[in-house]
Amino acid sequence: MPNLMSRQTVIKIGVDALNEAGTDLICKVCIMNGGSCCNGCHFLANGIGCEKRNTSCTAWLCGFLKYLLYATGLLKEWDDFWRQVPGQSFREDFTPEFFFVDKQLQMQSIRNLSEALATDLDEIATKHIAIGFIITLREKIDKNIDRLNDCKHDPKKQIKIERNIKVLSSPFLRFQKELREYHLNNSNT
């Protein structure tokens, strides 16, 4: 049965899910290495941060956060929830104050995975002195996951793209270890 939700409630649900998942740990490493999903946004105030969070920005995931949810099998859950929210546009929000959603967001606790990925990213950034290496890696992962979603009906392309994602994520050793444990624990439930 559809539930009536407010725009602010949906934003809070998204922010809370990201915080609980530990994405702040990954964002911190990315930002320290010159990355920001908010560069150029007119709602970003120097020294304050975002002054007007909206549904579009809350729903959007960078390559690392998208990879985190992809690897844990939670990306579809995230996408299915946000697909219900009307009025999203690039950094703009035309979402009505109230609207109906059929599906709630069901996320699992994955903060330990975020912590492992953040540690891996920090180590990679230290080892690779090339300016922007982390940002380039983030963009490549993002592009491949998006391409994977675009070729759902082409198994050969899917296999190739999944292989690319595996190669790009191969330096995430701590994350891979935690991910194996995560999948093992969740296969028993």
> Strand 3-6 vs strand 49-50: parallel, antiparallel, or unpaired?
unpaired
pLDDT band at 93 (very low <50, low <70, confident <90, very high): confident
Q: What is the pTM of this model?
A: 0.90
Residue 110's SS3 state is coil
> What is the reported pLDDT for 54?
85
> What is the reported pLDDT for 50?
66
Sign of CA dihedral 85, 91, 92, 97: positive
117: which 2 tokens?
Answer: 């990925």
Q: What confidence tens digit (pLDDT) does each residue in 94-149 have?
A: 899 999 999 999 988 899 999 999 999 999 988 877 778 889 999 999 999 999 98
Q: What is the Cα–Cα distance from 11 to 81, expressed in whole angstroms? A: 12
Q: Which backbone phi and psi does 101 adopt, to 5 degrees?
A: -125, 140
pLDDT band at 6 (very low <50, low <70, confident <90, very high): very high
Q: Which residue has the tokens 């491949």?
A: 144
